[in-house]
Amino acid sequence: MTAARTFRGANLDEALTVACAELRARVGELRYEVVSEGGGNGVELAAEVDPVAVLGLFLSESFRAGQLDMSAQLHVGEESLDGELRGGDLHLLTGGGGRGLDALQYLCNRVLTRRFSHHPPVHLDTQGFKERRAQQLRERASSAADEAVRTRTQVVIGPLTPAARREIHLALADDPGVETFSDGEGFLKRVVIRPVRGR
């Protein structure tokens, strides 16, 4: 525990209550360990708010409130907090090109941003959905680029989520025959692919 603070109470419950009040967290959001207990001094514990626990609680409560058959298995990766979603209602997130999954991931990042000044980005997926979608988007981008060059007109794809737009831009970043940009306002925007002038 790198940023843990210590809290005291007459017993474990009281020490946890003090920690929750001072950290403005629920018990389920804490990572803690008992530093000392007994000896007439009560209980002392080291505690901190755990981003994985905060996210896990947010997701489980959201799934329960929506009466959704879903669960999340979370772990800290090298550069991100990764969540693998499972359950019978995943089609609600993966339908429509994964807009629901992207929106849930966005919400998870917002939840952590409100609670922590620094946190790893959250990446949610289910059964390799995002890699399959990325491959489809790369193929779609390549076809659209070919069409833009062949017809010498711009091709518009979308509306797409930020993650999907990023895939299109990255797929065509090294193509010298076209340029890409996003068009529109709000969460869902279009990607415009147009031939580079003078080619």
Domain boundary among 99, 127, 155: 127
Tokens for 185, please give them. Answer: 């306002």
CATH code for the domain in which residue 68 is found: 3.30.300.20
Residues 35-54 pLDDT 10s: 988 767 889 999 999 999 99
Residues 93-103 pLDDT 10s: 998 888 899 89
Both 64 and 35 in one domain: the answer is no
In 3D, which of 196, 151, 189 has the Cα closest to residue 168? 189
Q: State how many domains the chain has.
A: 3
Both 118 and 151 in one domain: the answer is no
Both 65 and 117 in one domain: the answer is yes
The domain in which residue 92 lies consists of: 52-127
Both 157 and 137 in one domain: the answer is yes
Average pLDDT over residues 82-107: 92
Residues 122-175 pLDDT 10s: 999 999 999 999 999 999 999 999 999 999 999 999 898 888 899 999 999 999
Q: Is 173 exposed, middle or buried (0-12, 13-18, 19+ CB in 10 A)?
A: exposed
Both 21 and 63 in one domain: the answer is no
Both 28 and 79 in one domain: the answer is no
Both 89 and 118 in one domain: the answer is yes
Tokens for 125, please give them. Answer: 């997926």
Q: In angstroms, what is the C-alpha Rg of the chain?
A: 23
pLDDT score of 97:
83
CA distances from residue 161 to 77, 85, 101, 158, 188 in whole angstroms, order as listed: 24, 19, 10, 9, 5
Domain boundary among 97, 127, 157: 127
Kindly report the average pLDDT of the chain as a whole number: 92
Both 138 and 105 in one domain: the answer is no
pLDDT score of 2:
56
Both 38 and 74 in one domain: the answer is no
The 3-state DSSP class for residue 18 equals helix
Both 65 and 118 in one domain: the answer is yes
Tokens for 194, please give them. Answer: 């147009």
Q: Which residues share a beta bridge with 20?
A: none
pLDDT score of 198:
65
